[in-house]
Amino acid sequence: MTTNRNDPAVRDAAERLDRAWRSGVPCAPVRDLLPGGDLDAAYAVQSLLTGRRLAEGRRITGWKVGLTSPAVQRQLGVDTPDFGALFDDTAVPDGAELPWGAVLQPKAEAEVALVLEHDLPHERHTVADVIRATAFALPAVEVVGSRIRDWDITAVDTVADNASSGAYVLGTRPVPLRDLDLRTAGMVLERRGEPVSTGAGVACLGHPLHAAVWLADTLVRLGTPLRAGDTVLTGALGPMAAVAPGDVLEARIDGLGSVRAAFGPAAAEGDPR
Amino acid sequence: MTPADPTPPAVPVDPAALAEALDTAARAARPLPGGGSGLTTTAEAYTVQEALLARRFARGERPTGVKLGFTSAAKMRQMGVSDLIHGRLTDRMEIPDGGRCDVSGLIHPRIEPEIAFLLGAVLTPGGDPAAAVAAVAPALEVIDSRYDGFRFSLPEVIADNTSAAGYALGPWTPAGALGGLRSLADLGVVLEVDGRPAETGSTAAILGDPLRALAAAARLAGPLAAGTVVLAGAATAAVPLPPGTYVRATVARLGSVGLTTGEGS
């Protein structure tokens, strides 16, 4: 990291995002505050905000990898994924209702989650390292959200905003990697029986395990390596799906089973959103 | 709504007239007042049911199978009766899995999760039901009493083809893949409405074991030919089926079946 968490620009950007997160009112992008295209500065903002969440008593339960689709990378003008932290209070049980408004401007993605049983401390990891460190896989729905108004984001904005992380739902039936062909595993995200997003494992950096390798290496470089017990959301297997109040979205991933994200009814009148 | 007829119906009952009244009520989606048919015995009631189905067969419907009613304690409580009854299924009643059930032509539809048997051999009364089953599937049954407010006597609901209105079948699992049909006796069942669980239960609610319902079907309806579909009865209470709804039943080990009622108004 070249940018310090105490840099005034970093602190201003963190302040803007934190205010949006706390108030539930989306804010302007933060890219105007940070040096153009400087992802280090953006991660410094994320790190500052993660520090605040931890100081408030939260626990990091794992990490998410974002920007794993070539199409999304092109759209945002980057050639690398990004990551954000998962917190204990953003894990939602399968099918449990997430109150509308809990995640700002929510959308949903279906992903493969890996749960680790060994640390990944090396400077560079291989797919074999990740396979050996993984206890099991679970199907997951990631509810992404943006604190930035209308999702008007660049890579800098989403990185600063904890990779647009919102909440996540894990399935409950662990499957060992040996029983899965994640490259060609089909994914369908359904709303009321109709597909709203479809894809396959290959859409996630060619293979969800590739995303985990990238994350393992990146986190070692930043001094917070992946640890036994961490959950890794490896990235979307298809396009993000819009969600509306009251929706229930069910993700099915071949070999992994299904998991449901349920959203509460619209916020009461007078809510600023 | 049809106003109640102040004069009691003629006795003895005229099966053809009752069948016509039920047929008209279904086609016009105008319910009859329950309790006024004059039917007193189940034998009379099944005569009316046969006359009703004969009218439909004459219009080109083809029989596809048999359904059972009042096979669960929950259903008996809901309907206030205690006897097992049966009705007939036709091709016109089948809704494709994932397809649309047009509820605009129905009176007050409800839906319930079931399991369905496909017979691979004839099942005679007293025969071994397990030996006759070729495959098993999760199923949804749409019911729609032709009597106002679902209020009727036991003979009346029998005459009304046991409120049957439609059914959808999920994927068939061959009996041989289930490791013995006794394994069907306690499968978890969830009925979801728009993705949220509305009713949950077990196939054990179907007479303790759905195979008993199949045996009852043969006993009540006579020999059942190979190729017959048997809806064994509801595993949970029925729920209302309004427009704009997506309903899915999932049965452990058998999978899911769903239908939509299209967009709401």
CA pair distance B149, B132, nearest whole angstrom: 38
State the count of interchain CB pairs (< 8 A) between A and B. Answer: 25
Label residue A273 by pLDDT band (50, 70, 90): very low
Q: For B183, phi and psi rounded to 5 degrees?
A: -70, -5
Asked if B258 reaches chain A (Cβ–Cβ under 8 Å), the answer is: yes
Of residues B98, B195, B248, nearest to A262 (C-beta): B195
CA pair distance A248, A91, nearest whole angstrom: 16
Q: Among A65-79, A153-167, B49-63, whose mean pLDDT is lowest?
A: A65-79
Higher pLDDT, B158 or B8: B158
Task: Enumerate the residues of chain A whose CB falls inside 8 A of the CB of residue B248.
Answer: 193
Q: What is the mean pLDDT of residues B194-203?
A: 91
Q: What is the mean pLDDT of residues B156-179?
A: 96
B194 contacts A248? CB cut-off 8 A: yes
Q: Which domains does chain A have, with CATH numbers?
A: 59-263 (3.90.850.10)
Note whether ipTM > 0.90 here. no
Please give the share of chain B, as a percent, with pLDDT higher than 90. Answer: 77
Higher pLDDT, B77 or B27: B27
Asked if B98 reaches chain A (Cβ–Cβ under 8 Å), the answer is: yes
Q: What is the mean pLDDT of residues B114-118?
A: 97
Q: Which residues of A touch B (CB under 8 A)?
A: 95, 191-194, 246-250, 260, 262
CB B49 within 8 Å of CB B88: yes
Tell me which residues of chain B, numbers 18 to 37, contact chain A at a CB-CB cutoff of 8 Å. Answer: none
Task: Evaluate if residue B8 carries a pLDDT over 80.
Answer: no
Closest residue in A to B257 (Cα–Cα)? A193
* Residue carrying structure tokens 């970093």: A10
CA pair distance A200, A182, nearest whole angstrom: 8
Task: Enumerate the residues of chain B whose CB falls inside 8 A of the CB of residue A192.
Answer: 194-195, 246, 260
Task: Evaluate if residue A114 carries a pLDDT over 50.
Answer: yes
pLDDT of residue B182: 83
Q: Report pLDDT digits (tens) over A15-36.
A: 999 999 999 999 999 999 998 8
Q: What is the mean pLDDT of residues B216-220?
A: 92
**A110 is written with which tokens?**
């279906």
Q: What is the mean pLDDT of residues B190-212?
A: 92
The average confidence (pLDDT) of chain B is 91
CA pair distance B249, A163, nearest whole angstrom: 37
CA pair distance B38, B10, nearest whole angstrom: 8
Look at phi and psi of residue A146 and say left if phi exceeds 0, alpha if psi is from -120 to 50, else beta.
beta
A193 contacts B260? CB cut-off 8 A: yes
Question: In terms of Cα–Cα distance, which of B232, B242, B244 is closest to B206?
Answer: B232
Task: Enumerate the residues of chain A whose CB falls inside 8 A of the CB of residue B191.
Answer: none
CA pair distance A189, A108, nearest whole angstrom: 9
Label residue A37 by pLDDT band (50, 70, 90): confident
CB A147 within 8 Å of CB A34: no
pLDDT of residue B2: 46
B246 contacts A192? CB cut-off 8 A: yes
Q: What is the mean pLDDT of residues B155-180?
A: 95
Beta-strand (E) ranges in chain B?
A: 63-69, 85-90, 94-95, 110-119, 133-143, 164-169, 173-174, 188-193, 196-202, 229-234, 239-240, 246-251, 255-260
pLDDT of residue B36: 85
Q: Report pLDDT digits (tens) over A198-219.
A: 999 999 999 999 999 999 999 9
The answer to whether the predicted template modeling score (pTM) of the entire model surpasses 0.80 is yes
Asked if B6 reaches chain A (Cβ–Cβ under 8 Å), the answer is: no
pLDDT of residue B96: 98
CB A20 within 8 Å of CB A101: no
Label residue A3 by pLDDT band (50, 70, 90): low
Q: What is the mean pLDDT of residues A178-188?
A: 93
Give buried/exposed letters for B127-137 (b at 16+ CB in 10 A, else e): bebbebbebbb
Q: Among A149-153, A219-223, B73-77, whose mean pLDDT is lowest?
A: B73-77
The average confidence (pLDDT) of chain A is 94
B195 contacts A250? CB cut-off 8 A: yes
Q: What is the mean pLDDT of residues B216-241?
A: 94
Q: What is the mean pLDDT of residues B191-213?
A: 92
Of residues B196, B246, B248, nearest to A262 (C-beta): B196
CA pair distance A180, B68, nearest whole angstrom: 41
Q: Which domains does chain B have, with CATH numbers?
A: 15-260 (3.90.850.10)
Closest residue in A to B248 (Cα–Cα)? A193
Q: What is the mean pLDDT of residues A110-134?
A: 98
Q: What is the mean pLDDT of residues B142-151?
A: 96
Specify the 3-state DSSP secondary structure of A77. Answer: coil
CA pair distance B66, A34, nearest whole angstrom: 71
**A228 is written with which tokens?**
């036994």
Question: Nearest 5 degrees, angle CA B78-CA B84-CA B87?
Answer: 95
Asked if B263 reaches chain A (Cβ–Cβ under 8 Å), the answer is: no
Establish how many alpha carbons lie within 13 A of residue A117's alpha carbon, considering only the half-sphere containing its beta carbon. Answer: 9
Chain B closest-CA separation from residue A256 CA (Å): 15
Q: What is the mean pLDDT of residues B91-102?
A: 97
CA pair distance A91, A194, nearest whole angstrom: 25
Please give the share of chain A, as a percent, with pLDDT higher than 90. Answer: 89
CB B46 within 8 Å of CB B157: no
Chain A closest-CA separation from residue B3 CA (Å): 38
**B237 is written with which tokens?**
């209470």
Cα dist from B254 to A28, A127, B66, B168, whole Å: 50, 36, 20, 14
Task: Evaluate if residue B258 carries a pLDDT over 70.
Answer: yes
User: How many other C-beta atoms lie within 10 A of the C-beta of residue B145?
Assistant: 26
Chain B closest-CA separation from residue A204 CA (Å): 27
CA pair distance A11, A33, nearest whole angstrom: 10
pLDDT of residue B265: 44
Task: Enumerate the residues of chain A whose CB falls inside 8 A of the CB of residue B98.
Answer: 193
pLDDT of residue A203: 92
pLDDT of residue A36: 80
Candidates B194, B241, B245, B250: best to mutate against A (most CBs of A within 10 A) is: B194
pLDDT of residue A137: 98
Residue A174 amino acid letter: P
CA pair distance B175, B222, nearest whole angstrom: 23
**A216 is written with which tokens?**
């393992």
What torsion do the CA atoms of A138, A143, A144, A147 make, to the nearest 10 degrees? -140
Sign of CA dihedral B124, B127, B133, B134: negative
Of residues B98, B196, B197, nearest to A193 (C-beta): B98
Candidates B97, B101, B192, B259: best to mutate against A (most CBs of A within 10 A) is: B192
Task: Evaluate if residue B25 carries a pLDDT over 90.
Answer: yes
- Type and span of the H or E element at A131: helix A127-133
CA pair distance A102, A171, nearest whole angstrom: 20
B197 contacts A193? CB cut-off 8 A: no
Task: Evaluate if residue B74 carries a pLDDT over 70.
Answer: no
Label residue A1 by pLDDT band (50, 70, 90): very low
Task: Evaluate if residue B9 carries a pLDDT over 60.
Answer: no
pLDDT of residue A272: 46
* Residue carrying structure tokens 């190729």: B227
Higher pLDDT, A82 or B3: A82
Of residues A193, A247, A260, nearest to B258 (C-beta): A193
pLDDT of residue B1: 41
